[in-house]
Structure 1
Amino acid sequence: MLRTNPGFRLLWCARTCSFLGDALSLVALLLFVASGTGRALSVALLLLAAELAPALLGPLAGVVSDRFDLRKVMVGCELAQGAVMLVVALWLPPLAVLLPLVAVRALAGQVFQPASRAMVPALVDDRDLERANSLVGLGTNAGETLGPLVAAGLLPLLGIRGVLLLDVATFLVSAVLLAFLPAAPRERLPDANPFRAARAGLGHVRASPLLRAVVLGFVLVVLFNGIDDVALVFLVKDDLHGGDAVVAVVLSAVGIGLFVGYAVVARVSAGAALLAFGFAVSSLGNLLTGFAWAAGAVFAAQAARGAGLAGMDVAANTLIQRTVPADRLGRVFGTFHGGISAAAALSYIGGGLLLDATSPRVAFVVAGAGGLAVTAATWAALRRARRRDGTRPGRPGDAEHERPRGA
């Protein structure tokens, strides 16, 4: 597909480049805040600014994608993020100024997300959505995985400011690539009021049993399992007595699992069964991590978790793309990604409190057991949706409203 579809190739290259820059700048900002304040709370606030602020405006962010040309929206978002990071790189501001700037940049990224997801079905045939979403996942995961490694090599040479300026360059490259995409104009929305338009997008999710199950299930699984990276560090260091090198290797397991998972998922049908399977495997990976007796067992469990994450990611995005009409796709994706960001932020807070009150093993068991309970409830909801519609959810043409072809 990357060889034969020039439009999708441009989108894939732009997203991969942009995500690599995001990973570079995240490492640089975390080190800048940690060294400048010496407080873990400051680092937590930085992460919350990047997650919670855009989550609150997720449905509104999707309105932009449904109202304006997708190509222009994506180019504008990349340029806006690049401008914010340029200010941060040149100024290196104090925390009180940095947090609002990070929130503004995250908000632009939140607008970009539904636009890029809505662009995929405009560039590829319906039968190729699984492969397209898997390739997007592979590219973004590659950027996020390689980013910290590249940052580790470049920070001694370029410093914090230099790495942040490199992130600015990736946004510019991404914007240039996206500018060559075909235009994807939107039809005028029936309601010009953005708040009422956002509410209509939320109403579309509420009115569809399939969409409710997909969105709510995904959000709740993230809510339970979002603390895993933090808990993993304490588990390896405190319970298994591993050093920093062991922590780094174990943290790479999810990324390896994601690569394998995306490669496998590209060859299967992305229906409701794959979504539930991804929920179950990712949650089971955390549950088994809580009982792991050695770093090797933790690595295996987390690699399996990564494969499950790939399955749930491709299945959820494909189900939404096949179910939602083109004129509401941005708002549904805005709601979806906003809910995920909110769940991740709440998971940081709740999971941190649980870690302080108990232990890493207890946190993993609670996360995994909660995720499995959500999986069972989601599968039951998907089966009810199938019985109600008399169809198999997630297959082309089976949805309540089959998405019109084209953008």
Structure 2
Amino acid sequence: MKSFKWKFPIIYLCSVGIANIGGWIYLLAINLLVLEKTGSALAVAALYIIKPITQLLVGPWAGSLIDRVSTKHIMVYLDVIRAILILFIPFSDSIVFIYILVFFIQMAGAIFEPASFTYMTLLLPENIRHRFNAILSFVHSGAFVTGPLIAGILFMIGSLKEALFVNVVIFLLCAALALLLPRQMSTATFENSRITWLNIRDDWSLVVHFSKKAIPFFVLYMMFQMVMLLTAALDSMEVTFAKKVLNLSNTAYGSLVTLAGIGFLVGAICTNVIVRFAPAKLLMIIGTLFVSVGYVIYSFSTTYLIASIGFFVLSFFLSISNTGFMTYIQSNIPTDMMGRISSLYEMLSSFIQIIVILFLGLASQWFSVKEVVIGGSILMFCVALYLTLLSANQFKRKLVQ
């Protein structure tokens, strides 16, 4: 570990940190811009369904591309493409055209995420991945806190369109930083080969074969993803719950979000210590369980104090669970198949996410928001508890063998 050079991982971390801050600026700016143009909360909500749809579209073939070409150059090209697409948004008066641009921006992001994850895995020796992931979690949490703050400052001193111009510069800066990274290729023997529909079909077969051989890993992966999908679905009702159930003011709700950012940051700091002593799988399991506990506390809250406790608990352990999850899948997925497996698994997760969001949306028409949030949090806890018990049983079987 001492001989490992941290120069390139630090460049990668800087790129990720800047990109995450830019992501917050873009997210808040595009939401407010669409709301400003349409005056419709439904039009804003539609933005959140675009991402899983694009992941469904790119999932079948993105992994085949990622595992065959330079992941570094994919990252550079996609950053430049997103910068160009965002540049067109401020000049558009058509809401339809803005949605089309957002669609392609999300499509580029759906390819970028598994490409970046694959590159990171190839860049790092296995013995330092857990520590790097803990630092990466800290970078994400820092962006969680500073991103909205910087966005708010930009909105105050300028316009939404000017904030998007800043976002263009951020993505170009990330592309420039990525150019400084070494050219890291997949270990696959067919790199730079043509990508055909026959290759894509064969890649699907390989992923299915891997999943059948690694059923315990696949089940744990999907159970974790189910908890994360439920968190995303419940987050879509967060504002309504805070305003209509808890009767919080805008200021009080804003402080809850800030508290969540602080919890994530503190969790990331603690993770950097814990990760040196605890295995990745344990971090993932314990973190996931307590994330669900935090949501249960929040869903049953009747006062700001109880809600804030729930928010802090879930955000604190979210950092721990994410770090454990990243290290766990890096240790269990072959590097030469990382792009294909992660892309297809993300596609499956996105399909489930759409169903969960639609189900909770329909449920909110039949039941009160509080009942839906409570039901979703209890379901999340049950899935997390099953994940914990399943992991414990797998551990017992290994001891017996």
Quote the residue 2:367 is aligned against: 358
Tell whether 2:296 aligns with 1:287.
yes
Tell whether 2:262 aligns with 1:253.
no
State the 1:391 CA deviation. 6.9
Distance 1:271 1:148 in 2: 30
Residue aligned with 2:159, SS? helix
Distance 1:140 1:356 in 2: 35
Quote the residue 1:77 is aligned against: 78
Kindly provide the CA deviation profile for residues 94-113 of structure 1, in whole angstroms up to 9, marking residues without a partner as x. Answer: 22222222121111111111
CA contact (8 A) 2:280 2:323 kept: no
State the 1:122 CA deviation. 2.7
Kindly provide the CA deviation profile for residues 325-362 of structure 1, in whole angstroms up to 9, marking residues without a partner as x. Answer: 11001122223443444444444333333334323332
- AA at the equivalent of 2:334: P
State the 1:246 CA deviation. 0.4
Tell whether 2:108 aligns with 1:108.
yes
Q: Which deviates further from its counterpart, 211-220 or 356-365?
A: 356-365
Tell whether 2:331 aligns with 1:322.
yes
- AA at the equivalent of 1:61: A
Q: Which deviates further from its counterpart, 365-374 or 223-232?
A: 223-232
State the 1:17 CA deviation. 0.8
Q: 1:155 to 1:377 in 2, by over 3 A?
A: same
Q: Which deviates further from its counterpart, 26-35 or 195-204?
A: 195-204
Tell whether 2:379 aligns with 1:370.
yes
CA contact (8 A) 1:59 1:332 kept: no
Q: 1:134 to 1:140 in 2, by over 3 A?
A: same
Residue aligned with 1:227, SS? helix
Distance 1:96 1:157 in 2: 28
State the 1:11 CA deviation. 0.7
Quote the residue 2:213 is aligned against: 207
Q: 1:86 to 1:286 in 2, by over 3 A?
A: same
Tell whether 2:145 aligns with 1:145.
yes
Distance 1:382 1:335 in 2: 23
Q: 1:85 to 1:274 in 2, by over 3 A?
A: same
Tell whether 2:358 aligns with 1:349.
yes
State the 1:148 CA deviation. 2.1
- AA at the equivalent of 1:317: M
Quote the residue 1:61 is aligned against: 62
* Alignment TM-score, normalising by the size of structure 2: 0.89
Quote the residue 1:402 is aligned against: none
- 1:178-193 correspondence to structure 2 within 5 Å: 178-186=178-186, 187-189=188-190, 192=195, 193=199
For residue 262 of structure 1, the aligned residue among 268, 278, 287 is: 268
Tell whether 2:231 aligns with 1:225.
yes
State the 1:162 CA deviation. 1.0
- 1:17-166 correspondence to structure 2 within 5 Å: 17-89=18-90, 91-166=91-166
CA contact (8 A) 1:218 1:340 kept: no
- AA at the equivalent of 1:47: Y
State the 1:214 CA deviation. 2.9
State the 1:198 CA deviation. 3.9
- AA at the equivalent of 1:230: S
State the 1:59 CA deviation. 4.5
- AA at the equivalent of 1:85: I
CA contact (8 A) 2:54 2:110 kept: no
Distance 1:343 1:270 in 2: 29
State the 1:370 CA deviation. 0.8
Q: 1:78 to 1:206 in 2, by over 3 A?
A: farther
- AA at the equivalent of 1:306: S
Kindly provide the CA deviation profile for residues 20-79 of structure 1, in whole angstroms up to 9, marking residues without a partner as x. Answer: 111111111111111111112211111211332224423422222211112111111111
Kindly provide the CA deviation profile for residues 119-166 of structure 1, in whole angstroms up to 9, marking residues without a partner as x. Answer: 223333322212211222222232243222222211233312211111
For residue 338 of structure 1, the aligned residue among 307, 322, 347 is: 347
Q: Which deviates further from its counterpart, 119-128 or 307-316?
A: 119-128
State the 1:322 CA deviation. 0.8
- AA at the equivalent of 1:62: G
Q: Which deviates further from its counterpart, 265-274 or 5-14?
A: 265-274
Distance 1:87 1:202 in 2: 40
State the 1:318 CA deviation. 0.7
Q: Which deviates further from its counterpart, 314-323 or 187-196?
A: 187-196
Residue aligned with 1:315, SS? helix
Q: 1:132 to 1:340 in 2, by over 3 A?
A: farther
Kindly provide the CA deviation profile for residues 356-391 of structure 1, in whole angstroms up to 9, marking residues without a partner as x. Answer: 432333223212211121123223443454466x37
- AA at the equivalent of 2:173: V
Quote the residue 1:196 is aligned against: 202
Distance 1:164 1:202 in 2: 41
The root-mean-square deviation of aligned C-alpha atoms, in Å, is 2.4
- Structure 2, unmatched stretches of 5+, are none
- Structure 1, unmatched stretches of 5+, are 393-407
Quote the residue 1:236 is aligned against: 242
* Alignment TM-score, normalising by the size of structure 1: 0.88
What percent identity do the matched residue pairs reach? Answer: 21
Residue aligned with 1:57, SS? helix
